[in-house]
DNA sequence: CCAGTAATGTACGAACTAGTACGTTACTTA
DNA sequence: TAAGTAACGTACTAGTTCGTACATTACTGG
């Protein structure tokens, strides 16, 4: 590694991978900050050590660049989810752990949250058009599926729980806490991402999810109030 | 009413209030659809019966128009919340009713959800700058506050519940279900706003909130895992 | 009924913005 | 080492887009 076999081209002047990666990183920040329409191709170029020409050279255009940003952001997330190992825990502890992981992840990646919000404004058109993103599964829901099943078998969880539903419940609070912190803070004078209340919200969500899973449902699905 | 006292100027050719309202209505749709940067002043003007000149005449500019759109949207919401009357119900039923109202409201106002998402991308700068929106209180949290207090006194709810926290929990799911339906649908092949699953999600959220309020907390706030 | 003003329309411009034509240089490999 | 190509830079353009100067008309109070 340290041997100077290759004379360590201390500063390569031409490095396709690096240039591409730098554009992607800068674009991620700019799109997350200003939205798709608000982001400026010229500004993204200015923030890199290269020029606008290279954006078109590597990505083709603004739209494809945005798709590439989304693909990279989602890939990173899914990779982290894949490393998750909670199978050795009991169902309640495993659920708690999964909640905490989602909570921590969303908190640590506000740019990702913003990109997802922006993509929703565009009705997910880039995700739908992206083969790469369509192929991407979701390790989180697979893990959750197994946790819930074992919890049900052990008689700890009630029958109606569905993995994707529970994932939606967990995600919604973790996502909202970050995505809507500005309007919520402005209107209710409470900073949902205040570090001092972090543990409080983390525990609250885990409590709520576990309370839901372990309490018998109060209603009955399909019930009609005629 | 029907008498022709005023000869019913069947079509007034000049009507400030109407022109202003029409611009606001069209702008709401356009901003919600395309975001702040994506919306076009010229297009908004074209969709009204008047011209771009009037947008600047009545609102001053694109930025102020967006603020006016937000103000109108929030005002409408707050008015609806104010009509809410659940004080005669027992705490659990009242909570359930409040959840259902939020759920129904968010579902019925996707444009509002999109505007709030967009405003969060802009870090709530328009809300913060708007006197009108700063003064706007929140009837929903006031009502919730009273429900929770009576539930606590009756020994039904545990001690840690806070009105704004519970409001955040309720809002997050109702909001996420609408705001993120596109990415969620694309990635998990599940339409959260499918009419067929509406009752299911509505009941699920109410069950979860009530389960949380009535179950003792599993952790302890302030607990340190050293 | 007439003068003043609120309301409205037209036409235009300056700045911006995505994208490209064309030229150049560093690196590789035959 | 020479030639080919991948990587990169400059300068420009066509089309937008917000905003406004200027002109005009409908309505109303005196």
Predicted confidence (pLDDT) per residue in A84-93, tens digit: 888 899 999 9
Q: Does A119 touch chain B (CB under 8 A)?
A: yes
Q: Does B156 touch chain A (CB under 8 A)?
A: no
- What DSSP assignment string belongs to A126-167? HHHH-HHHHH---HHHHHHHHHHHHHHHTT-S-TT--HHHHH
Q: Given a cut of 70, is residue A68 above it in pLDDT? A: yes
B28-49 pLDDT, tens digit per residue, is: 999 999 999 999 999 999 999 9
Interface probe with B: pick from A208, A216, A222, most Cβ of B within 10 Å:
A208
How many angstroms is C1' of C2 away from CA of B46? 36
pLDDT of residue A12: 64
Q: How many CA atoms lie within 13 A of A10 on its CB side?
A: 0
Q: Which of A3-17, B62-76, B113-127 is the least confident region?
A: A3-17
A160-173 pLDDT, tens digit per residue, is: 899 999 999 999 99
Please give the average per-residue pLDDT across A177-198, as a whole number.
97
Q: How far is A103 from chain B (nearest CA, A)?
A: 13
Rounded Cα gap, residues B153 and B121, in angstroms: 40
pLDDT of residue B224: 46
Domain ranges of chain B: 71-214
Q: How would residue B138 be classed by pLDDT, with cut points 50, 70 and 90?
A: confident
Contacts of A125 (CB under 8 A, 6+ apart): none
Q: How would residue B162 be classed by pLDDT, with cut points 50, 70 and 90?
A: very high
Q: Kindly provide the b/e burial profile for residues A141-153, where b requires at least 16 CB atoms within 10 angstroms of the residue's own CB.
A: bebbeebbeebbe
Q: Measuring from the CA of residue B50 to each C1', which nucleotide is nearest?
A: C8
pLDDT of residue A225: 42
Q: Which of B75-79, B93-97, B192-196 is the least confident region?
A: B75-79
Contacts of B34 (CB under 8 A, 6+ apart): A37, A121, B40
A7-38 pLDDT, tens digit per residue, is: 444 466 789 999 999 999 999 999 999 999 99
pLDDT of residue A220: 57
CATH class of A74-214: mainly alpha
Q: Given a cut of 60, is residue B3 above it in pLDDT? A: no
pLDDT of residue B1: 37
Task: Name the B residues in 193-222 with CB < 8 Å from any A CB.
Answer: 199-201, 203-212, 214-215, 217-219, 221-222
CATH class of B71-214: mainly alpha
Q: How would residue B9 be classed by pLDDT, with cut points 50, 70 and 90?
A: very low
Task: Name the A residues in 68-107 with CB < 8 Å from any B CB.
Answer: none
Find how far residue B46's CA is from the centre of its chain. 28
Contacts of B102 (CB under 8 A, 6+ apart): B140, B170, B171, B174
The residue written with tokens 């039904």 in the block is B156
Average pLDDT, chain B: 91
Find how far residue A85's CA is from the centre of its chain. 18
A101-125 pLDDT, tens digit per residue, is: 999 999 999 999 999 999 999 999 9
| CB < 8 Å to B177, chain A | 168, 172
D strand bases under 7 Å from protein CB = 6-11, 17-22, 26-27
pLDDT of residue B11: 59
């Amino acid at each position: 590694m340290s041997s100077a076999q290759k004379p360590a081209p201390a500063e390569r002047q031409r490095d396709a991978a690096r240039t591409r990666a730098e554009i992607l990183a800068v674009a991620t920040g700019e799109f997350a900050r200003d939205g798709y329409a608000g982001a400026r191709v010229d500004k993204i170029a200015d923030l890199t050590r290269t020029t606008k020409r290279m954006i078109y050279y590597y990505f083709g255009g603004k739209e494809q660049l945005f798709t590439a940003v989304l693909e990279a952001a989602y890939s990173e997330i899914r990779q982290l989810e894949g490393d998750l190992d909670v199978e050795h825990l009991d169902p309640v502890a495993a659920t708690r752990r999964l909640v905490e992981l989602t909570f921590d992840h969303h908190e640590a990646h506000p740019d990702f949250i913003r990109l997802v919000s922006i993509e929703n404004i565009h009705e997910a058109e880039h995700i739908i058009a992206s083969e790469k993103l369509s192929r991407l599964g979701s390790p989180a829901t697979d893990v959750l599926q197994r946790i819930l099943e074992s919890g049900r078998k052990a008689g700890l969880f009630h029958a109606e729980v569905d993995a994707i539903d529970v994932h939606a419940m967990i995600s919604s609070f973790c996502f909202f806490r970050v995505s809507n912190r500005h309007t919520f803070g402005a209107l209710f004078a409470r900073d949902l991402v205040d570090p001092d209340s972090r543990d409080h919200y983390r525990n609250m969500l885990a409590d709520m999810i576990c309370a839901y899973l372990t309490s018998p449902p109060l209603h009955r699905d399909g019930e009609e109030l005629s």
